[in-house]
Amino acid sequence: MVILPLKMQGATAHIRKKRLVGPVDITITADGFTIIMGPNGAGKTTLLRLMHGLQRCSGGLVEWAVPHAKAREKQAYVFQSPIMMRRRVVDSIAYPLRLRGLSASAARATARESAGRFGLEKLLDSWAPMLSGGEKQKLSLARALVIEPDILFLDEPCANLDGRAIREIEAILRDAQAAGTRIVMSTHDMGQARRLAQDVVFMYDGKIHEHTAADAFFTSPTTKEAHAFINGDIVE
Amino acid sequence: MNSISQGFWDAWGLILTFDPDLYEIIFLSLQVTVSAVIIASAIGLPLGAWLAVNRFRFRRYAIAILNALMGLPPVVVGLFVYMLLSRAGPLGGFGLLFSPEAMIIAQVIIITPLIASISHQTLRDLWAEYHDLLISMNATRMQRIRALLWDGRRALLTAMLAGFGRAIGEVGAIMIVGGNIDHATRVLTTAIALETGKGNFAFAMGLGLVLIMLAVIINLLIHALGKTERASTW
Ligand SMILES: Nc1ncnc2c1ncn2[C@@H]1O[C@H](COP(=O)(O)OP(=O)(O)OP(=O)(O)O)[C@@H](O)[C@H]1O
Ligand SMILES: [Mg+2]
């Protein structure tokens, strides 16, 4: 069962009468690697939350190919600031499997197996809230991928990482994509966007200003805000 | 001054020689209070978790009532339970007045709001932390509550210990509904009141020492729990 495509039509998010994002029209098809870019406060996080169903839609539609409850089971989300459960690393990675009814020992075995891929094998018995910022990011990613989701949302997953860790994570994301996971990710890192993106969504003031193939976006952006953003100018 | 220090040494003598009268009272106290803590926790912990996770219309009022109940004067609780259990009262038929069960009921009423309120506060904070993650992972309502209760277990134990501390040192309600009957409903606090009145300082002080030691142990345990929370050893 593949839950994609995801279709948003006129989707809007409000908090107490204030418009945060929208109206947004976008379709996320089954293949690809989408990068969301834009200045601080442009609405990247809100757009991701809207797609994932964490942010309530105040208008318009957000539709998956299957009912929402079914679609939810095949999605995973990596938060901008990692949320660590008060458990050991191995149990944190195992938790999504436990929620799906796996026994504690089976879930732990899978968690142990997958930890190596994320450089967490030495930390399996550490207490998750005590990890360093970068280790927390890696744990978040391991926890998200352990369920082999159809789609993975990532909100600036490399914000606290050094160059080497960034390369490792990018490799993991490419592998996940090759294994059939659709990826939608926000980032501020222009180099990373160039390396990973197949298509780019450029957010500005709560709206999608551009949604184009990556090459087109970086070589010939159509709006002046995107142009300024790519050139590293300050976008007002 | 002399009689106080004399009483102090006599008290230690009673404790160290395992004076049967003294230990009967200690055991009854523990029996009553441990039972009350177990029952109050069975009600208060899930109630606290439920209040932390659910958003409903009268939630604010429910919490306000809980906090108000926490401040109930124990003597008034005693009076209330007495009226319930007295022969003419609605539960008079059970013949529970002046029994350990009556004391347990009174203590449960006194500490359930305390345990529910403390667990609500910590679980609410934990829920604020976990909310997005557990929603994102599609955890069911039951799974959310279980995750909170498990990951918040130290705080919940702290709440139970606080309830124990409050119940073991309580005297007013216990006196009214238990009646302080020798070999039946005489517990640490009521015995201290009685023995002091009779001028039997050694015995009263022995009881007092035990009560103080219990309080110290409880506080040490609470402190140790806070430490394992920070060091995250279990
Ligand atoms: N809960 C909220 N209440 C009020 N305003 C909010 C709330 N959440 C977000 N906003 C506002 O919505 C706008 C978009 O925020 P969002 O977090 O989506 O931006 P972003 O593009 O992710 O920014 P950043 O790059 O800094 O992460 C901001 O102006 C923000 O202040
Ligand atoms: Mg953001």
At residue B117, the pLDDT reads 94
Q: Which ligand is nearest to the CA of A79?
A: 2
Q: Do A83 and B130 touch (CB under 8 A)?
A: yes
Structural domains counted in chain B: 1
Task: Give a yes or no: residue B97 inside a domain.
Answer: yes
Q: Which of A159-168, A211-220, B173-182 has the highest mean pLDDT?
A: B173-182
d(CA A39, CA A226): 10
Same domain, A55 and A163: yes
d(CA B21, CA B122): 41
Question: What is the rounded average pLDDT of the residues A107-116?
Answer: 93
Sign of the CA dihedral A126, A128, A132, A138? positive
Task: Give a yes or no: residue B233 inside a domain.
Answer: no
CB of residue A17 inside a 6 A radius of ligand 1: no
d(CA B133, CA A139): 13
d(CA A51, CA B217): 52
d(CA A47, CA A54): 10
Q: Which residues contact A133 (CB under 8 A, 6 or more apart)?
A: A82, A160
Q: Do B139 and A99 touch (CB under 8 A)?
A: yes
| Token pair for A233 | 């100018």
Residue among A202, A216, A205 nearest A35 (CA): A202
Residue among B117, B109, B99 nearest B40 (CA): B109
Same domain, A75 and A104: no
Tally the C-alpha atoms within 13 A of residue A133's C-alpha that lie toward its C-beta.
9
What region does A22 belong to: left with phi over 0, alpha with psi -120 to 50, or beta? left
At residue A215, the pLDDT reads 85
Last residue of one domain, picked from the residues A71, A100, A130: A130
CB of residue A49 inside a 6 A radius of ligand 1: no
Same domain, A111 and A218: no
Same domain, A167 and A66: yes
Task: Give a yes or no: residue B29 inside a domain.
Answer: yes
At residue B133, the pLDDT reads 97
| Residue A70 CA, distance from chain mean position | 19
At residue A2, the pLDDT reads 84
C-alpha dist (Å) from residue B198 to B3, B98, B174, B192:
14, 22, 19, 10
Q: Which residues contact B64 (CB under 8 A, 6 or more apart)?
A: none
Smallest CA–CA distance, residue B87 to chain A, in Å, is 51
Task: Give a yes or no: residue B171 inside a domain.
Answer: yes
Q: Look up the domain containing A154 and give its range.
A: 6-83+149-230
Same domain, A77 and A159: yes
B128 to chain A: closest CA residue: A83
Q: Look up the domain containing B185 and give its range.
A: 2-226
Question: What is the rounded average pLDDT of the residues A123-141?
Answer: 92
At residue A235, the pLDDT reads 59
| Residue B201 CA, distance from chain mean position | 27
Contacts of B136 in chain A (CB under 8 A): 52, 54, 75-77, 79
Q: Where are the beta strands (DSSP E) in chain A?
A: 6-15, 18-28, 33-37, 59-63, 75-78, 151-155, 182-186, 199-204, 207-213
Q: Which residues contact B158 (CB under 8 A, 6 or more apart)?
A: B118, B222, B225, B226
Asked whether A10 and A25 are in contact (CB, 8 A), the reply is yes
Task: Give a yes or no: residue B190 inside a domain.
Answer: yes
Same domain, A153 and A74: yes
CB of residue A40 inside a 6 A radius of ligand 1: yes
At residue B177, the pLDDT reads 95
What confidence tens digit (pLDDT) does each residue in A181-195 have?
Answer: 999 999 998 889 999
CB of residue A133 inside a 6 A radius of ligand 1: no
| Residue B105 CA, distance from chain mean position | 11
User: Which among B132, B139, B143 has CB closest to A79?
Assistant: B132
> Which residue of A17, A45, A154 sits with most ligand 1 atoms within 8 Å of its CB, as the best mutation to test the pocket?
A45
Smallest CA–CA distance, residue A227 to chain B, in Å, is 34
Q: Which atom of ligand 1 is nearest to the CA of A186?
A: 22
What confidence tens digit (pLDDT) does each residue in B153-170 have?
Answer: 888 988 999 999 999 999
Question: Which residues are paired to A186 by β-bridges?
Answer: A36, A155
At residue A94, the pLDDT reads 96
Last residue of one domain, picked from the residues A73, A100, A130: A130
Same domain, A213 and A126: no
Structural domains counted in chain A: 2
At residue B56, the pLDDT reads 84
Task: Give a yes or no: residue A141 inside a domain.
Answer: no
At residue A146, the pLDDT reads 95
- Residue A164: pLDDT band by 50, 70, 90 thresholds? confident
At residue B89, the pLDDT reads 86
Same domain, A161 and A171: yes
In which order are the strands placed within the sheet that holds A6-15? A18-28, A6-15, A59-63
Reported pTM:
0.84
**Which residues in chain B come in under a pLDDT of 50?**
none
Contacts of A93 in chain B (CB under 8 A): none
User: Which among A73, A85, A99 has CB closest to B130?
Assistant: A85
At residue A73, the pLDDT reads 92
d(CA A62, CA A134): 32
Task: Give a yes or no: residue B231 inside a domain.
Answer: no
Look at A43-52, A166-175, B3-12, B148-157 and tell me which has the smallest mean pLDDT: B3-12
At residue A176, the pLDDT reads 93
C-alpha B148 to ligand 1 mean position (Å): 28
Same domain, A104 and A155: no
Last residue of one domain, picked from the residues A63, A95, A130: A130
Contacts of B232 in chain A (CB under 8 A): 86, 127, 129-130
Same domain, A14 and A66: yes
**CATH number of the domain encompassing residue A157:** 3.40.50.300
Helix spans in A39-180 (H): 44-52, 68-72, 89-99, 104-115, 133-145, 163-178
Q: Is B17 an 8 Å CB contact of chain A?
A: no
CB of residue A45 inside a 6 A radius of ligand 1: yes
Task: Give a yes or no: residue B232 inside a domain.
Answer: no
Task: Give a yes or no: residue B106 inside a domain.
Answer: yes
pLDDT above 70 (res A1)? no
Contacts of A95 in chain B (CB under 8 A): 137, 147
Same domain, A90 and A52: no
C-alpha A161 to ligand 2 mean position (Å): 16
Task: Give a yes or no: residue A168 inside a domain.
Answer: yes
Q: Do B138 and A52 touch (CB under 8 A)?
A: no
Smallest CA–CA distance, residue A221 to chain B, in Å, is 34
**CATH number of the domain encompassing residue B205:** 1.10.3720.10
Same domain, A31 and A79: yes
